[in-house]
Structure 1
Amino acid sequence: MIPLRTPFLLAALALPAAAADKVDFNTQVKPILEAACTHCHGAEKDKGDFRLHTKEDMIKGNENGPGLTAGDLKKSAIYSTLILGHDDDMVMPPSKEGLLDKTQIEVIKGWIEQGADWPAGVTLAVKPRIDFVKHIQPILEQNCVSCHNPEKDKGEWIVSTKKQAFETGESAPNIVPFNLTKSAVYHLTTLGEDEDELMPPKKSGGPLKKEEIALLKGWIEQGAAWPDDVTLKAKEKGAVATNNPDTLELVKKIHALIVQTSKEKAEGEMKSYDSKVPSTGAAYSMVAIKGGEFTMGTPEGEAGRIEDEGPQVKKNIKPFWIGKYEITWDEYEPYQLTSEGRNKDGSRKVWAPTDKPETLISQPTPPYQPMDFGMGRNGFPAICMTQHAANKYCQWLSAQTGHFYRLPTEAEWEYAARAGTKTAYFFGDDAAQLKDYAWFFENAPNFQYSVVGKKKPNPWGLYDIYGNVCEWTLDQYSDGTYKSWAADAATGSLGNTWIKSKTPYPHVARGGHYDDDPEMLRSGARRASEPGWKQQDPQLPKSIWYLTDATWLGFRIVRPLEIPTVEEMYSAWNNGVAKE
């Protein structure tokens, strides 16, 4: 979606008059807006300084004029931007996201002309947008067209073209936009697998998968948009097994390389170093951190403290190297964007056992749009990756360099951030000094992230450990973690223990970000991941690689001096429970 502007060329671009039928906000307008608009103009994001998740916000618009004026299309930019040309920078939604279907635009038009009724108390959420070609066409072609085509019209229903699919059938219509109850193409898919009316029948591969039924449901609720020029053809059904080579056996090969390559055996041999990603030449720097004991967590009197930061507990940390900077797009993008065809789990569609280990590691599928969201790439921190994606980057880098890289544990991150201090921040307790060391709400340019390394480092030479972007750790989040550690402390040293994942959410992120208040940048502040971090992901099921709403989340890497076992490496690189 785009910023609003003063409407123009309405007369030349106006669509035919709206149908006389009353447009219902909840069943027709709301689904369109929630799928196409609120991910950029909702409660969590106000692109162009415009929100439309409430009637008041939509009416208000922005500095260019009102977003909605009941009964007046010319003064309703929510409509005028819909009918701009596909190559117009101001068309809404942008062409790269897919324009609205003309039937959906007609609904918005009719709603405004009829007075733009919006029931009191209704607030719009964000829903995945269903694209016919991407989401619905494969379902119909693999499950319906073989029995419902001009040559074989079972039940007198033909689904080859839009007109036929909407108008034919013994009990036509089988598809009614915005109406699930009257759309047999949907409700017949929800029947039990032994019921005669199930579509497709059990003998033909039914029932559909839950995610396929959810796609059909969303498509109809959003108006059942079907491009006029799309004709369906029967396709063979059946998922292709990925035969993913990214297994424990692959980790054994990488482990052998790391044992052979890593030369440092004792803390005294550790030195900070600069290096480059072998396959790309992207530079990165690692800072040597001596081991030691520290007090993890925050005291009860610390300003901004919340209960999950305590009780404080002693932790013994083994020596490690940590990234001097947050991982940048220069380092991450070549891993994220590859020319290889990939399955949804990130495995290559074509590969051989003799391929180099780094090429066999699961890597992200292509993003639906650039994940920097226009905030900058060269020298800027990489963002929006799941913990799973960050873990796999560490494996990919390790396979090339012969050094074991992973995410820091929560304890390692806090140890490095505190840099031997016990105050709220490594520079003391006065948040007024924060602007010298971090980008956050009060000083972030344009309310977005900045090039790494532009602020002062902490005492151990780490840049942006506070602010800029929040940083993944390896641990599963629990508000009772420290209580559990404190209870175990009597049995001996807790060492470098970390909380392994059992569920997809939550995991721990640390350090705060460019849109945070100072208290979230404290050394002891914790943040728990949640499904809302990928709310606007248009895929169903949602991607295992991207957190589309976490435009403030990145990571930095750690290399422990002590080389772990094969099983420990595998656990660290596969810790994020990707499937939801």
Structure 2
Amino acid sequence: MELSNKYKIALTVLVLFLIIQIDSKTQNQSFEPYKQEIPHTSLSFEMVTIPAGEFLMGTSADEFGHEADESPQRLVSIDAFWMGAHEVTWDLFELFLDKDYEKAVSTKAIAQQVDGLSRPSMPYLDMTFGMGKENKPALAMTQYGAIQFCKWLYLKTGIFYRLPTEAEWEYAARAGSQSAYFFGNDPEELTEYAVYESNSQEETKPVGSKKPNPWGLYDMLGNVMEWTYDHYAPYKESQRILKNPVERSQELYPQVLRGGHYESDASELRSGKRFASDPVWKQLDPQIPKSQWWFPEAPFVGMRVVRPLISPTEEEIHAYYNQEPIADY
């Protein structure tokens, strides 16, 4: 028996309502913290949710340790994303660094795409700088090397991972605060949250050794500085809200790092503090052009990954991962 138009309309509305409810429920469930396993290995890493929101990026002139490149402050809007709960460790980075090691620890043959991936040249120095590897942050990779690690993760997992933008990094570090540190303004409290000059004994510590910030991120302050994707440039005055800002450049130096490191003082661990990469970090490298993978004089440089809630297109992913390295003569 054929349904009347009235019942057809009612049924269509009901179906659409159910689809919307199911879709909404799925979306709400999908944006949750999770553990990313590296296929066919026993290794994994944790990702936490960073909600969308707005914040005042930069610092005011009256903040303890304020520097000129941290202002003018700008109102910034950030889309939701996931961020690694910890800095990338040697346990993970070494799989990318050494294909033979990856093959040895994998329970299945590695995929053809992964097998053919360009990997870092094996360093001629001890890139742990005598500080050890187990659960310690990976060190001294260039920004290009950090991006290629993200590409390796993508080929292994099928999920788009990348470096945070400078704005995303500061937004995540602040975790809703506007003080010098996410816990307030008192440097005396840093020892509970950060590995830095006062408690590091001049070396990195295992990731997660200190308390996390309110969004579940460990070692955002101290241990190692962390790469962002941005070119280092002065902040510009803006009368409007900046939506997911990122500073791109075709120049090799300088690029932005954040967070301070194990030899930083308290003023360098502020959420708004900016650092710029420096060619002197390759001064010991005898190669011409110098290595696109390593900074032999930067044991304080590391990385952390993010994953956007809305994945980019395949073309955008390809463009992100396959940028040619800029020669360093």
Q: TM-score, normalised by structure 2?
A: 0.85
Work out whether residues 266 and 561 of structure 1, in 8 Å CA contact, stay in contact via their aligned partners in 2: no
Q: Which one of the candidate residues 410, 425, 428 is aligned to 2:166?
A: 410
2:3 alignment counterpart: none
Q: Which one of the candidate residues 84, 91, 101 is aligned to 1:323?
A: 84
- Residue 390 of structure 1 aligns to a residue in which SS? helix
- Residue 183 of structure 2 aligns to a residue in which SS? coil
Gaps of at least 5 residues in structure 1 are 1-263, 341-354
Q: Which one of the candidate residues 271, 290, 296 is aligned to 2:32?
A: 271
Work out whether residues 502 and 577 of structure 1, in 8 Å CA contact, stay in contact via their aligned partners in 2: no
Query: In angstroms, what is the RMSD of aligned CA positions?
Result: 1.9
1:554 alignment counterpart: 302
Work out whether residues 317 and 496 of structure 1, in 8 Å CA contact, stay in contact via their aligned partners in 2: yes
How many Å separate the matches in 1 of 2:28 and 2:155?
23
Q: Which one of the candidate residues 256, 279, 303 is aligned to 1:531?
A: 279
- Residue 472 of structure 1 aligns to a residue in which SS? strand
Q: Deviations over 1:498-528 (max 9, x none)?
A: 1123111110000000011111110000000
How many Å separate the matches in 2 of 1:400 and 1:495?
31
1:380 alignment counterpart: 136
* Aligned residue-pair number: 296
1:563 alignment counterpart: 311
How many Å separate the matches in 2 of 1:507 and 1:464?
21
Q: Which one of the candidate residues 212, 216, 228 is aligned to 1:457?
A: 212
How many Å separate the matches in 2 of 1:501 and 1:571?
14
- Residue 76 of structure 2 aligns to a residue in which SS? strand
Q: Which one of the candidate residues 33, 36, 51 is aligned to 1:290?
A: 51
How many Å separate the matches in 1 of 2:44 and 2:134?
12
Q: Which one of the candidate residues 219, 223, 226 is aligned to 1:471?
A: 226
- What's the CA shift for 1:572? 2.9
- The one-letter amino acid of 2:68's match is E
- Residue 242 of structure 2 aligns to a residue in which SS? coil
Map residues 431-510 of structure 1 onto 2, 5 A cutoff: 431-445=187-201, 447-478=202-233, 480=234, 482-483=235-236, 486-487=237-238, 489-490=239-240, 493-510=241-258
Work out whether residues 295 and 313 of structure 1, in 8 Å CA contact, stay in contact via their aligned partners in 2: yes
- Residue 519 of structure 1 aligns to a residue in which SS? helix
How many Å separate the matches in 1 of 2:166 and 2:141?
18
1:512 alignment counterpart: 260
Q: Which has the higher contact order (CA 8 A, sep 6+)?
A: 2
- Kindly indicate whether residue 118 of structure 2 is the aligned counterpart of residue 362 of structure 1: yes
1:425 alignment counterpart: 181
Change (3 A) 1:419 1:358: same
Q: Deviations over 1:247-281 (max 9, x none)?
A: xxxxxxxxxxxxxxxxx974663010112222543
Map residues 74-223 of structure 1 onto 2, 5 A cutoff: none
Work out whether residues 74 and 242 of structure 2, in 8 Å CA contact, stay in contact via their aligned partners in 1: no
- What's the CA shift for 1:370? 2.6
- Residue 468 of structure 1 aligns to a residue in which SS? coil
Change (3 A) 1:402 1:579: same
- What's the CA shift for 1:537? 1.5
How many Å separate the matches in 2 of 1:568 and 1:438?
35
- What's the CA shift for 1:576? 7.6
Q: Deviations over 1:189-236 (max 9, x none)?
A: xxxxxxxxxxxxxxxxxxxxxxxxxxxxxxxxxxxxxxxxxxxxxxxx
- What's the CA shift for 1:539? 2.0
- The one-letter amino acid of 2:215's match is W
Work out whether residues 90 and 138 of structure 2, in 8 Å CA contact, stay in contact via their aligned partners in 1: yes
How many Å separate the matches in 2 of 1:531 and 1:303?
29
- What's the CA shift for 1:362? 1.8
Structure with greater Cα Rg: 1
- The one-letter amino acid of 2:273's match is A
1:149 alignment counterpart: none
- Residue 115 of structure 2 aligns to a residue in which SS? helix
- What's the CA shift for 1:497? 2.3
How many Å separate the matches in 1 of 2:282 and 2:28?
40
- What's the CA shift for 1:402? 1.5
Q: Which one of the candidate residues 270, 279, 295 is aligned to 1:522?
A: 270
- What's the CA shift for 1:359? 2.5
- The one-letter amino acid of 1:520's match is E
1:400 alignment counterpart: 156
Structure holding more strand per residue: 2
- Residue 572 of structure 1 aligns to a residue in which SS? helix
- Residue 454 of structure 1 aligns to a residue in which SS? coil
Q: TM-score, normalised by structure 1?
A: 0.49
Work out whether residues 292 and 317 of structure 1, in 8 Å CA contact, stay in contact via their aligned partners in 2: yes
Work out whether residues 267 and 290 of structure 1, in 8 Å CA contact, stay in contact via their aligned partners in 2: no
- Residue 451 of structure 1 aligns to a residue in which SS? coil
Q: Deviations over 1:346-404 (max 9, x none)?
A: xxxxxxxxx63222332111111231121110100000100000000001101111111
Gaps of at least 5 residues in structure 2 are 1-24, 102-110
How many Å separate the matches in 1 of 2:70 and 2:316?
27
- What's the CA shift for 1:434? 0.4
Q: Percent sequence identity over matched residues? A: 47
How many Å separate the matches in 1 of 2:57 and 2:27?
25
Work out whether residues 99 and 115 of structure 2, in 8 Å CA contact, stay in contact via their aligned partners in 1: no
Change (3 A) 1:494 1:337: same
Change (3 A) 1:570 1:305: farther
Change (3 A) 1:497 1:370: same
- What's the CA shift for 1:282? 1.8
2:127 alignment counterpart: 371
Q: Which one of the candidate residues 302, 305, 308 is aligned to 2:69?
A: 308
How many Å separate the matches in 2 of 1:267 and 1:530?
42
Change (3 A) 1:361 1:477: same
How many Å separate the matches in 2 of 1:310 and 1:333?
38
- The one-letter amino acid of 2:262's match is Y
How many Å separate the matches in 2 of 1:296 and 1:568?
26
1:345 alignment counterpart: none
2:42 alignment counterpart: 281
How many Å separate the matches in 2 of 1:567 and 1:534?
33
